[in-house]
Structure formats: C-alpha cells, structure tokens
C-alpha cells in the first residue's frame, strides 16, 4: 500500500510549498513558495530533510491527518498552535513545535488554530509528488504544483516518499526567533515619484492594520490613504517580492509569494527581503509600520538573515537536551501559547 497521510479535515488552507518556482515569470508564472521560508527550513532540518524540501503550509486553522504508512516522522515550525497526536481510542497527547516526533499507522495528527498566519508541517523524506516546472509549490489560481494544484481537501491521500522511518532519537530546535520587527524596512521605489511627499511621509509614519482580505498573493493594509501625485495607472511593469502597490483607493497592498508577475498600479516601495518572512507570518488585525532604508542596508540585512539561517540549521540538537529550554526565553521570542516543553 502506498504510504500516505489521509486528510480527515483539511484546515482552512493547507497547501504544499517549498522555496518556490523562480525562472518562469517571463511566461506569467508566479514564484509562489512558503510565506515564511525560515519556518519551512526549520521544520525540514528538524526531521533531517534538506531545508528546501516541500512541506505542508498550514494557514490559520490546522488539518487533521491520519497516518497511512507504517511509521512517519514529522515536525512543525512557525506560528504556535495546539498540536495533538490522537490514537485509535481518541486519547490525545499534546506535542511541541520545533521537535520531531514519530507516529505509527492508525494515529492521527491534529493541528488546532494558529496564533499567527502560517506554520509548516515537514515529514521525514518529504511528499511523493512530482515537481512541476522545478518546484512542488502549489499555485492554486492556475492549478500548478502541489497536490493536484490545489489546497488539500477531505479524503485526499497525500503520498509520502517513505513507508517507514527509523525509531531513532528525536531532534529539536531549542529556539526559533519569530519576533516581528518594530518597523518593517522598505526601499523606496520604483514609482515613489507617483506619490506626493505627504503620501511618502504617511507611509513611513502611520501604523497600518492587516486586512482580512489578505491572501497568499497580497497583504492588504487598512489605514491612512496614500495620495497619488500623477494618477494610479502606469504602463504595466514587473513586480518584485514585497512590492507595495497602491491602487486607486490609496490603500497599500504588499505583494507576497503568489504575487502576479506584472502589474499596472504604481509601487511606492518594496519590503526588504530580510523582513518578508516576518511579514508573511502576520494575521489579519496585526499592526504594521514601515521604515525606509538604503539598498546597502537592505543587502546587509539579507546577509544577516543568511547567517541566521545557517546558524538555525546548525542548531538542531538531540531532544534529550529539551530540559535546557528556557520557557521565559521562548515566550519572549514570541513563541506564543501552544508551544509546550517537550518534557511535559
């Protein structure tokens, strides 16, 4: 029998994502990929996968999945959530994020409501789906990648690469800093000249609220309107990750993983690449403020992020060191309720 996870309940929007599908934007194909690539990498490293392995991106409300393989090993990273292993008589055992755990046939994994936008469920060995145009990321709008090009649905069998995993010592990541920056850094342009000076000041001074109309394509922000200096239609040009476009209503939209490749609204600025994973974690209702930085500062921040990623990948330790976790430090790092010590 093929090894699989059976979807008992799909959650709100559970999709397969990796680090995306670059290289086809000239044909109109968005890059897609994880909204929070840092948590994706963390979940993969904990189960021993290459960091770019495709994993389930869980948005807002988690799924219930039944194990239809002899044994599997999983780990979750990202927004805090109550995660339980249910056995055949429905007895629940709460498990921790950032720690691998082995499940056997007949057990179910239940992920509850998330305290942030996304969390990642990595499975040792990964999912057995063919890459499409070089990536397993799901782009639902065109039905590309993932499982049949869509979010998982009740009854789906998500094929796994491995029928069984070794019963070895579990591993964990002692700390994953998912704190939001006080202000998200942006580089102004390419069309900042399409806005009044007052609009630029507003963008950099105001506090915006993430709108419920946010999705994987774009984060819509509610707050003060930005005034266009010379209309809101431009001849379409390319769209960078994190670009902040401002349509006629004056409210900014930050373009995320499933952003369209080109667009005809002026883009006042772009969130720097080092701050995009944190932005991808924000839920509707969260507050967002911006700060302008130079391109050199943005590049330095990206180098720093690369160093943090390298450090994170080297920090996975055997789970017997779990007792060394400092709960206060975890809370300070914004690993909100739902994360429990693996020893509890």
Partner 1 sequence: MTAASQGKFLRSGDTALVVEFGDRIDRDVSARVLSLAQLIEAEAIPGVVEVVPTFRSLMVHYEPLVLSHGDLERRLLVLIDRITAQERPGRQWRLPACYDPELGPDLTDVAARTGLPVAQVIERHSATLFHIYMMGFLPGLPYLGSLPAELELPRRENPRLRVPPGSIAIAMAMTTIYPLESPGGWNLLGRTPVAMWDLRRPEPSLLAAGDKVTFAPISLREYESIRAQAEAGTYQLRPHSESAA
As a whole number of angstroms, the distance between CA 35 and CA 132 comes to 19
Q: Does 330 bind partner 1 (CB under 8 A)?
A: no
**Smallest distance, partner 1 to C-beta of residue 73, A:** 31
Nearest residue (CB) to partner 1, 69 versus 144:
144
> What are 50-53's contacts with CB under 8 Å, separation 24+?
51/309, 51/313, 52/18, 52/19, 53/18, 53/122, 53/126
Return the residue matching tokens 């994190």.
Answer: 242
Helix (H, G, I), strand (E, B) or coil at 26: helix
Q: The sheet that has 71-78: what strands, in order across it?
A: 13-17, 55-61, 113-123, 71-78, 101-104
Q: Which of residues 83-122 bind partner 1 (CB under 8 A)?
A: none
**Smallest distance, partner 1 to C-beta of residue 318, A:** 31
* Of 18-26, 53-61, 87-95, 328-336: span binding partner 1 (CB under 8 A): 18-26
Q: Does 203 bind partner 1 (CB under 8 A)?
A: no
Q: Which regions of 124-183 does DSSP assign to beta strands (E)?
A: 157-159, 171-172
Q: Are 69 and 164 in contact (CB under 8 A)?
A: yes
The gap from C-alpha 31 to its chain's centroid, in whole angstroms, comes to 14
Nearest residue (CB) to partner 1, 171 versus 267:
267
62 is written with which tokens? 């988690």
Q: Does 240 bind partner 1 (CB under 8 A)?
A: yes
As a whole number of angstroms, the distance between CA 190 and CA 32 comes to 22
Q: Does 45 bind partner 1 (CB under 8 A)?
A: no
Q: Does 207 bind partner 1 (CB under 8 A)?
A: no
Q: Does 229 bind partner 1 (CB under 8 A)?
A: no
- Kind of pairing, strands 101-104 and 71-78? antiparallel
Q: Does 308 bind partner 1 (CB under 8 A)?
A: no
Q: Does 291 bind partner 1 (CB under 8 A)?
A: no
End-to-end CA distance of the chain: 35
Phi and psi at residue 173, to the nearest 5°: -110, 115
Nearest residue (CB) to partner 1, 34 versus 109:
34
Q: Does 310 bind partner 1 (CB under 8 A)?
A: no
Q: Does 270 bind partner 1 (CB under 8 A)?
A: yes
* Of 52-60, 72-80, 141-149, 170-178: span binding partner 1 (CB under 8 A): 141-149
Q: Does 180 bind partner 1 (CB under 8 A)?
A: no
Q: Contacting partner 1 (CB under 8 A), which of 189, 224, 250, 284?
A: 189
* Of 25-33, 105-113, 154-162, 277-285: span binding partner 1 (CB under 8 A): 25-33
As a whole number of angstroms, the distance between CA 335 and CA 122 comes to 18
Q: Does 172 bind partner 1 (CB under 8 A)?
A: no
Q: Contacting partner 1 (CB under 8 A), which of 66, 113, 132, 206?
A: 132
Given the rule CB under 8 A, which residues bind partner 1?
A: 22-29, 132-133, 141-144, 186-191, 234-243, 260-263, 267, 270-274, 295, 298-299, 301-303, 306
């Amino acid at each position: 029998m093929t090894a699989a996870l059976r979807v008992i309940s799909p959650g709100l929007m559970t999709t397969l994502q990796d680090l995306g599908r670059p290289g086809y934007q000239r044909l109109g194909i968005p890059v897609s990929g994880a909204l929070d690539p840092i948590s994706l990498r963390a979940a993969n490293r904990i189960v021993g996968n290459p960091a770019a392995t495709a994993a389930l991106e869980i948005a807002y409300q988690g799924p219930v999945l039944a194990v239809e393989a002899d044994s599997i090993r999983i780990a979750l990273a990202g927004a805090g959530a109550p995660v339980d292993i249910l056995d055949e008589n429905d007895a629940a055992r709460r498990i921790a994020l950032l720690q691998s755990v082995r499940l056997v046939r007949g057990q179910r994994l239940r992920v509850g409501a998330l305290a942030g936008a996304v969390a990642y469920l990595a499975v040792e060995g990964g999912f057995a789906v063919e890459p499409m145009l070089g990536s397993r990321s799901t782009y639902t709008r065109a039905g590309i990648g993932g499982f049949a090009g869509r979010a998982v649905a009740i009854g789906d069998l998500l094929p796994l690469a491995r029928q069984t995993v070794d019963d070895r010592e579990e591993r964990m990541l002692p700390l994953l800093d998912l704190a939001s920056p006080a202000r998200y850094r942006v580089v102004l342009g390419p069309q900042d000249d399409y806005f009044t000076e007052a609009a630029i000041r507003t963008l950099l001074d105001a506090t915006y609220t993430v709108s419920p109309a946010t999705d994987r394509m774009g984060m819509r922000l509610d707050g003060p309107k930005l005034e266009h200096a010379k209309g809101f239609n431009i001849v379409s040009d390319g769209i960078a990750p994190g670009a902040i476009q401002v349509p006629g209503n004056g409210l900014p939209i930050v373009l995320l993983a499933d952003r369209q490749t080109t667009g005809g609204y002026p883009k006042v600025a772009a969130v720097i690449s080092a701050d995009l994973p944190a932005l991808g974690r924000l839920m509707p209702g969260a507050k967002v403020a911006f700060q302008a930085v130079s391109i050199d500062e943005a590049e330095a921040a990206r180098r720093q992020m690369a160093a943090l990623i390298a450090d994170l990948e080297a920090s996975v330790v055997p789970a017997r060191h779990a007792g060394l976790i400092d709960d206060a430090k975890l809370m300070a790092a914004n690993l909100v309720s739902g994360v429990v010590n693996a020893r509890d």
